[in-house]
Amino acid sequence: MKTKDEIQKEALDAIADNKKAGVEISMGVGKTLMGLKHMIKNYTDYCRFLVVAPKLSIFDSWKDDAEKFGLSHLLDHIDFTTYRSLTKQDTDYDVVYLDECHSLKKSHIPWLNAYEKKSGRILGLTGTYPEKKWTEKGKMCNHFCPKVYEYHTDDAVDDQILNDYRIFVHKLSLNGNPTIEKIRKDGGIWKNSEVKEYNYWTQRLHRATTPKSEQIARIQRMKTLQKFPSKEDYARKLLNRQTDKTIIFANTQAQADTLCEHSVHSKNKQSKQNLIDFKAGLFNRLSAVEQLSEGVNVPKLKVGIIMHAYANNRKASQKIGRLLRLNPEDVATIHILCYVNSVDKDWVTSALSHLDQTKIKWIWPDEI
């Protein structure tokens, strides 16, 4: 079995003197510490480093690890910025660290090209490197931080760095009864079923004649699936059965506030305090939307409920990764809710395709 130090050393050896490199390391292995160790290798009295991340909260992990491992002197040489603000930075850095490098977008290309011309170095760090090289994110990562090392979630479980897990996919059916209230143009109210609502947007998608109309129909169908009341009702019942420390990833801010007394999302002013109190064990249930998907660690979680799995193993991995930082002898339980009579089933199957399939069980509601 490998230790965290051995894995980090392997990654650093693979990076070596490459001007551009990307590392895909499972959450919980020490991606941030490895980045700091890379800084040590490139340290001089006058060095400048830039750390780029999707959210400001991620920078706390860099600062905490620097202080924890006796590397706080590096902080005087590090500038922090978000991907949104990257183009506002100057390019006078020795190394740029792209934390969660899958967040790169086309709008970053001019800045990165200008930086490359100055012979600067780029290191991309992520737990989920883009699989599809032909996509925008795939092209960006392969050009600016080509992958030189990878170490996945199941590798970390086998090495007992992360705890083991089990995933239950709950097979739900769209409701055929008229439960969704709709407002007519004249202000009157009528009710539609989840089945008819889903079929309507699926037909709109199939009839789309332009890329834009196809995209609109696809997004609208996804948003419609996310808001169906039957899944929210089931999630509430499942949540109420949990006795261990549990987090539920809701689809919308309204759902998050409805499902739990304490929630974390961009419009909740109590989010930061709720997260602190949840970590401290003052309560055992927390709802979140996307803010806990990247760069935030919550210790001693045992149960996670995911209401929607995108056809994207990055988002699934990040949410599942919140659960895999227990003691080695513990087993994390992840529940994923899925409408099996819809495209939802394809999304869940794709999102979980990179994980050990022997640890995944598809169940009907009456089997729990």
Q: Tell me the CA distances in angstroms from 304 to 111, 228, 331, one per residue in order.
A: 39, 20, 12
Q: What is the mean pLDDT of residues 358-364?
A: 93
pLDDT at 319: 67
pLDDT at 347: 85
Residues 159/125, Cβ–Cβ less than 8 Å: no
Q: What is the CA radius of gyration of the chain?
A: 22
Q: Which of 108, 102, 157 is nearest to 331 (CA)?
A: 157
Residues 331/165, Cβ–Cβ less than 8 Å: yes
Rounded to whole angstroms, how far apart are CA atoms 265 and 247? 13
Higher pLDDT: 35 or 180? It is 35
The stretches of 42-187 forming alpha helices (DSSP H) are: 59-68, 109-117, 136-144, 153-158
pLDDT at 148: 95
pLDDT at 327 over 60: no
Take residue 272 and report the two structure tokens written for it: 């930061």
Convert the pLDDT of each residue in 333-355 to its tens digit. 999 999 999 988 988 888 888 78
Q: Would you identify the CATH topology of the domain 4-158? A: Rossmann fold (3.40.50)
pLDDT at 146: 95
DSSP per-residue letters across 17-55: T-SEEEEEE-TTS-HHHHHHHHHHHT--TT--EEEEESS
pLDDT at 299: 66
Q: Tell me the CA distances in angstroms from 299 to 44, 63, 157, 284, 322, one per residue in order.
A: 35, 18, 16, 12, 8
How many residues are present in the chain? 368
pLDDT at 144 over 90: yes
Rounded to whole angstroms, how far apart are CA atoms 341 and 362? 14
Residues facing 22 on adjacent strands: 124, 147
Q: Tell me the CA distances in angstroms from 362 to 173, 243, 329, one per residue in order.
A: 13, 22, 24
pLDDT at 176 over 80: yes
Backbone angles phi, psi at 51, to 5 degrees: -110, 125
Rounded to whole angstroms, how far apart are CA atoms 105 and 140? 7
pLDDT at 274 over 60: yes
Edge-to-edge strands of the sheet including 20-25?
78-82, 49-53, 95-99, 121-126, 20-25, 147-151
pLDDT at 325: 60
Convert the pLDDT of each residue in 120-134 to its tens digit. 899 999 988 887 788
Q: What is the mean pLDDT of residues 252-263?
A: 92
CA angle 250, 251, 255 (to 5 degrees): 60
Q: What is the mean pLDDT of residues 61-69?
A: 93
pLDDT at 19 over 80: yes
Confidence of residue 311 (pLDDT cuts 50, 70, 90): low
pTM above 0.85, yes or no: no
Convert the pLDDT of each residue in 86-111 to its tens digit. 999 999 999 999 999 999 999 999 99
Q: Which of 230, 222, 221, 194 is nearest to 337 (CA)?
A: 230
Sequence-distant (6+) residues with CB within 8 A of 228 are: 174, 175, 180, 194, 197, 339
Residue 11 DSSP SS3: helix
- The mean pLDDT of the chain is 88
pLDDT at 89: 93
Residues of the chain with CATH 3.40.50.300: 4-158, 164-174+229-367
pLDDT at 305 over 70: yes
CATH architecture classification, 164-174+229-367: 3-Layer(aba) Sandwich (3.40)
Sequence-distant (6+) residues with CB within 8 A of 277 are: 262, 283
Residue 70 DSSP SS3: coil
Take residue 28 and report the two structure tokens written for it: 């919980």
